[in-house]
Structure 1
Amino acid sequence: MVTSDPVQFAPARSVPPSTASASQRRQTTDDLDTLLAVFPPALRAALDCPERRDNLVEVVLDLGRRPEARYRDRSEYISEDCVTREELQYCCDRVGTFSSDNRAGIERTLHRISAIRNRDGDAIGLTCRIGRAVFGTINMIDDLVQRGQSILLLGRPGVGKTTALREIARVLADDCGKRVVVVDTSNEIAGDGDIPHPAIGRARRMQVARPELQHKVMIEAVENHMPEVVVIDEIGTELEALAARTIAERGVQLVGTAHGNRLENLIKNPTLSDLVGGIQAVTLGDDEARRRGSQKTVLERKAPPTFAIAVEMFERQRWVVHEDVADTIDRLLRGTNPEQQIRSTDADGRFSVTYEKPEPSMMAAAGASTKVESLTRQKGWRASGRMSPIPMSSTRGERGDFDRLLDQSWQQVEPNTSGEKVRTPGPNGEDWPVYVYPYGIGRSQLEQVLEVMKLPIALTKDLEGADAVLALRSQVKNHSKLRQVAKTHQLPIHVVKSNTIPQITRALQRLLNLDDAVDVVPDMQLFASSGDDDELEALEEARLAVEQIVIPEGQPVELLPRSPKVRKLQHELAEHYRLKSDSFGEEPNRRLRIYPA
């Protein structure tokens, strides 16, 4: 966490500290004696310590290991003797029935016992988690709860998401008088048994027979019992995310928790991204991309979020609130962070709201663990214009404008041609430099090759004073005028297959009779299976990256997300340049990275 910089309260934005009396502040009910009765007498006596009861979080019993008690601030062994099978069976006999997810409870309590089983199905480990009903834990977001908007709670395990969910259900049912239905998959919200725990107040509880049926029970709750609020814990599958959207679109307030510490975790999670509206790749027009100052393919939110409000629970007394999830997601996808609203509680139960500078976004942070950066940040080679398109040697598209420009440049006279060409003898007596008349070849590429290779070649616009013509193969084939003029002046024509640096380099070396010519890279249409525009565009992108960044700059380049078929073509293109490439990321954002030699 980056060091925060609290903003001073402004009258319109500050929230006064809570003035609740001590009796109205947090009250805890844990029924710990009921859980201790489950353990064998020796372990029960070691755990029943008045000074430590309030801080006990869970008890871990593993076969052949010493029993362990875990507190909020530490863990310690409670016996020198190892746990036996008899002790584990003693505990299992005194709790409820274990469901298919290996969870059980104790009737009319909130405690949860989870089993670890061997291949034969025998319990070889137990995790006994203390469940507490804490009243007053949602004072920090009480105003948000009563708005009637759907709320999503995020946080690591053990931070108090289920406790807050239980309190929200009670407040909405008792204080707000709403019809609340709790979908309790593992009986963790309202306790084990047929009678729900008093901690949820007047809210009704629907149990789930098997965890994989949770999404069906969610829909059943709305269709059969007319709730105004549905409370659900641990939304973790795509079906549950779709059921949550269905409930929210029917006008029912939804309060739930999901796996993940922050909203950015949901953005990168294809299973749960629908909770925040879903993410899709969008291709912008040239004008819009220029206006945004970004690349043409960007990530955008697909639909309105299922949850209008999100709460990131970093600590039990420190929560980050996003009152407008849609705006937050849009900002994150564009590489910027909104100001963080921090709600915290002190030891006396008084809470306050501050606004802090945001942390660096995981979507825009550098490093291999956050490669979505190349799709979201408005920086890099493409955005800076250093990867400008080069005309392809393809026969598709309109050629009239290109041909007209060539004809206009025909037979242009060099500005300083009054005297003879200046030449010096080469190592074998040849006349250097060789004056070349380019026809249809990109001048910028020619000048770049000449500068890098230090070739004794001079470019000229005077055809009569040229020693040779360098032209695109398509131009020589389709323009008889060029062949006639070259024949009249007795000039050799050297053909370039495509307007690429390797092709131009090979042609110039061949023109000078050099033997160290580089390998020729085939034309793009030879890679594309059927001249598909998307494939040609992807191959052109890879070619530009190789010729303008990877080879001259010696830097790796990440390309845009493509389908597996197109990525295979890009891999083959990189191999022709004798460069290494690999794919990374998750679909549909999987993309290619090309490395320098």
Structure 2
Amino acid sequence: MRGEVIRKKMTSKHQKITDDLDAMLSILPPDIAQAVQSEDNFDNLLEIILDLGRKPAARFTDSEVVLLPRDVTQYDLDYVTERIGSFDADNRAGLERTLHRISAIRNRRGDIVGLTCRVGRAVYGTIDIITDLVNSGESILLLGKPGVGKTTMLREAARILAETKRVVIVDTSNEIGGDGDVPHPAVGRARRMQVPKPSLQHEVMIEAVENHNPEVIVIDEIGRELEAQAARTIAERGVQLIGTAHGNALENLLLNPTLSDLVGGIESVTLSDDEARRRGTQKTVLERRAPPTFTVLVEIQSRQHLAVYTDVAAAVDALLRGYPTPPEERFWDEEGKIHIQRAEMKPAPTVNQSLRRGNSMEKTPFQRGLSNDKSTRKITSEPLLEADFETHVPAHAVEVKNIYAFGVARNRLLQVIKNMSVPARLVRNLEDADTFVTQRRYYRERLQPVIQAEEMGIPVFVIKSNSVNQIEQFLADLFMVPAPHNMISQHSEAMEQAEDAIQMVLAGEKYVDLRPASANIRREQHQLAQKASLISQSFGTEPNRFVRIFRD
């Protein structure tokens, strides 16, 4: 169940939008400008596209409209370029003291054959939804696809922070502070450093820290490795960073070798045999390489909906372990109220439990999504009928686990549930389950029920065999209660240890010593080794006599 908190109310009258649209229209050929005005949809206008030999078009937030039946000519392109500033090395130009951006497309000879005239807006009030994060002093990275509003939010953050702190904007394309030497009023008291060439952005970032003593640095479009390194250097000096990068989600950013360092980066680590067995993982695992440069990450999913990771380090670690953390969701409703929703988290598995859970053992963590993650939140659904279950649980049980068993002896599982008096019941349908248990061999074969359970986000527990001891240990881990110990369990555990030792020797171990056991158990362990065509021998004196299994 997700807890919802209403933080504040914000209606459209609290937002002030400045777009200087008349300035944009003034540089367009008159008939194209008139066509834009006739659409009468200025609030949703994003770009005006002029491509040589094609019909002019206007892009809105929800559609694209052809403005005129005629094609764009060279005269139209020259008309625009004569009325704007010069193009920089990144083929971008602007209008002085406005936020509009004109980007050029050139042919191989360097001639302009297309223009993208993007409308720049200063929207006051856009960061109300993350004001607490901006004022926290933490470094914040804004992620989102182009046109979703990253720069608009970044500009507003710079203006708000500049009221109380020393803020420097590193403005590579003049998109934050506008074209010209005097910054646009939308950045408030923030100072602006322009970048002569995009490839020099990282040098200007360092220069800003060394020469101008800022408390906050604002950067738009971090896209190169040198810029990511410069951002880390700035963060390590105690300066708050607020920046943007193209990307849809934290998971995508981690897989981007150029930008993954912004959230700590990942590296492949090879574990020793003992450590891999202790963790229950493969020998090669992924781990976070360093502390993240940005400690807070905001995914701008739409102009009204954000997903927030308030602890990037913990989120990255959880993702690499295979138990991704659902983000905090923030959104505006139709009435302008801001809502914050947090998912209730279950504790991450212990090392002892990890040997029996399947979610992070055999798959890369990046193959798992959060959309249907039942392991991290409680699911509200239609009430289930008692006929759907194979066991009856008392009504006073605090939290009942609905278990779907695949390849596990159901009668034995039912008996152990009864003996341990845990609030569990077996279900016949996978859709009704919140826990999935299977044997290791079925999990490794990647059978369809296992794959389906993982895709549905159901926690998967893997036991080695159908033994009572393994089932008891599974239920003990699931309900975090002590496992019962009896003679049957001791016998089963000793035989399972012998089976594991046989597999280790067959895999290359020189020898494996088993735990001390009685004469009857040692006899059965010798028989198992003989069936596997291995040598076994007993050592020591009673009651500490044990079996050693080895090759010829």
Residue aligning to 2:546: none
Alignment of 1:325-340 (within 5 A): 325-340=312-327
Q: Does 1:274 align with 2:261?
A: yes
- How do 1:96-111 residues align onto structure 2 when only pairs under 5 Å count? 96-111=85-100
How far 1:363 moved relative to its partner?
Answer: 3.7
Separation in 2, partners of 1:362, 1:104:
44
Distance in 1 between the 2:300 and 2:138 partners? Answer: 18
**Who is 2:392 aligned against?**
none
Query: How big is the shift at 1:335?
Result: 0.9
Matches within 5 A, 1:292-307: 292-307=279-294
Provide the rounded CA distance (Å) in 1 between the counterparts of 2:201 and 2:275: 43
- Aligned 8 A contact 2:301 2:307 in 1: yes
2:78 is aligned to 89
What amino acid does structure 2 have at the position aligned with 1:113?
A: I
1:36 aligns with 2:36: no
Q: Does 1:142 align with 2:131?
A: yes
The answer to whether the Cα contact below 8 Å between 1:230 and 1:252 also exists between their aligned partners in 2 is: yes
Post-superposition offset of 1:31: 0.1
1:549 corresponds to which residue?
Answer: none
Contact 2:99 2:175 in 1 (8 A): yes
Aligned to 1:321, the other structure's residue is in SS state strand
- Determine whether 1:52 maps to 2:48: no
Displacement after TM superposition at 1:20 (Å): 5.0
Cα offsets for 1:270-294 (capped at 9, x unmatched)? 1111111121112234444334322
- Separation in structure 2 between the aligned mates of residue 232 and residue 259 of structure 1, nearest angstrom: 13
Alignment partners' CA distance in 1, 2:38 and 2:31: 13
- From 245, 248, 256, the equivalent of 1:261 is 248
| Counterpart secondary structure, 2:294 | coil
Q: Which residue type is aligned with residue 161 of structure 2?
A: L
What amino acid does structure 1 have at the position aligned with 2:36? L
Match of 1:8 among 3, 16, 21: 3
Amino acid at match of 2:254: I
Does residue 19 (structure 1) correspond to residue 12 (structure 2)? The answer is no
Cα gap change, 1:325 to 1:80, in 2 (>3 Å): same
Counterpart AA for 2:51: D
Does structure 1 conserve the Cα–Cα contact (< 8 Å) formed by 2:295 and 2:311?
yes
Map Cα deviations across residues 371-399 of structure 1 (whole Å, 9 max, x no partner): xxxxxxx9747998899445589xxx9x7
Could you say what secondary structure the match of 1:298 adopts?
Answer: strand
Going from structure 1 to structure 2, the CA distance change for 1:63 and 1:362 (only over 3 Å counts) comes to farther
Partners in 2 of 1:285 and 1:204 — Cα distance?
A: 52
| Shift in Å, 1:357 | 7.9
1:235 maps to what in 2? Answer: 222
Cα shift at 1:160: 0.4
Distance in structure 2 (CA, Å) of the matches to 1:66 and 1:259: 29
Q: 1:56 to 1:277 in 2, by over 3 A?
A: same
Q: Is the 8 A contact 2:322 2:368 kept in 1?
A: no
Query: Which residue matches 1:172?
Result: 161
Deviations 1:496-530 (A, max 9, x none): xx99xxxxxxxxxxxxxxxxxxxxxxxxxxxxxxx
Residue equivalent to 1:540: none
Superposed CA RMSD: 3.3
Deviations 1:185-241 (A, max 9, x none): 000011000010000000000000000000000000000000000000111111100
Contact 1:310/1:323 (<8 A) preserved: yes
SS of 1:47's equivalent in the other structure is: helix
Distance, in Å, in 1 between the alignment partners of 2:202 and 2:271 is 36
Contact 1:264 1:363 survives alignment (8 Å): no
Task: Tell me the SS of whatever aligns to 1:205.
Answer: strand
Residue-pair matches, total = 388
Q: CA distance change for structure 1 residues 67 and 445 in 2, over 3 Å: closer, same or farther? A: farther
Q: Give the gaps of 5 or more residues in structure 1.
A: 1-5, 368-377, 405-414, 416-441, 448-458, 460-497, 500-597
Q: 1:248 aligns with which of 223, 226, 235?
A: 235
What TM-score does the superposition give when structure 2 sets the normalisation length? 0.65
1:50-82: CA deviations, max 9, x gaps?
731111110000100000011111111110110
Q: Which amino acid aligns with 1:74?
A: S
- Checking the alignment, whether the CA contact within 8 Å between 1:341 and 1:356 is kept in structure 2 is yes
Report if aligned partners of 1:69, 1:76 keep a CA contact under 8 Å in 2.
yes
Question: How big is the shift at 1:242?
Answer: 0.4
Match of 1:188 in 2: 175
CA distance in structure 1 between the partners assigned to 2:444 and 2:204 by the alignment: 48
Which sections of structure 2, spanning at least 5 residues, go unmatched? 346-358, 370-439, 447-461, 465-499, 514-522, 524-528, 536-550
Q: Distance between the aligned counterparts of 1:181 and 1:173, measured in 2?
A: 9
What per-residue deviation string (whole Å, max 9, x for no partner) do you get for residues 441-480 of structure 1?
A: x966769xxxxxxxxxxx9xxxxxxxxxxxxxxxxxxxxx
CA distance in 2, matches of 1:67, 1:388: 70
Checking the alignment, whether the CA contact within 8 Å between 1:340 and 1:357 is kept in structure 2 is: no
2:100 and 2:119 in contact (8 A); partners too: yes
1:507-566 deviation line (CA, Å, top 9, x unaligned): xxxxxxxxxxxxxxxxxxxxxxxxxxxxxxxxxxxxxxxxxxxxxxxxxxxxxxxxxxxx
Determine whether 1:323 maps to 2:310.
yes
The secondary structure found in structure 2 opposite 1:189 is: coil
With the length of structure 1 as denominator, give the TM-score of the two structures.
Answer: 0.60
Contact between 2:139 and 2:296, CA under 8 Å: does it hold in 1?
A: yes
Measured in 1, the distance between the counterparts of 2:311 and 2:329 equals 14
Amino acid at match of 1:271: T
Report the 3-state secondary structure (helix = DSSP H, G, I; strand = E; otherwise coil) of the residue aligned with 2:243: strand
CA distance in 1, matches of 2:109, 2:314: 51
Q: Structure with the greater relative contact order (CA < 8 A, sep ≥ 6): 1 or 2?
A: 2
Structure 1 position 365, deviation (Å): 2.4
One-letter identity of the residue aligned with 1:89:
D
Structure 1 distance, partners of 2:533, 2:227, is 59
* 1:314 corresponds to 2:316: no
Secondary structure, counterpart of 1:235 in structure 2: coil
1:289-338 CA-to-partner distances (Å, cap 9, x unmatched) read 33432222210111110011000111111000000000000000011121
Task: State the partner residue of 1:432.
Answer: none
For residue 365 of structure 1, what is the aligned residue in structure 2? 367
1:184–1:443 CA distance, 2 compared to 1 (3 A): farther
CA offset at residue 265 of structure 1?
A: 1.1
The separation in 2 between residues aligned to 1:265 and 1:388, in whole angstroms, is 38
Q: Sequence identity of aligned pairs in percent?
A: 55
**Partner-residue secondary structure (3-state), 1:98:** coil
Contact kept, 8 Å, 2:251 with 2:366, in 1: the verdict is no
Instruction: Give me the whole-angstrom Cα distance separating, in 2, the residues matched to 1:159 and 1:28.
Output: 16
| SS at structure 2 position matched to 1:17 | strand
Pair 1:36–1:362, CA change in 2 (3 A): farther
Q: 1:22 to 1:64 in 2, by over 3 A?
A: closer
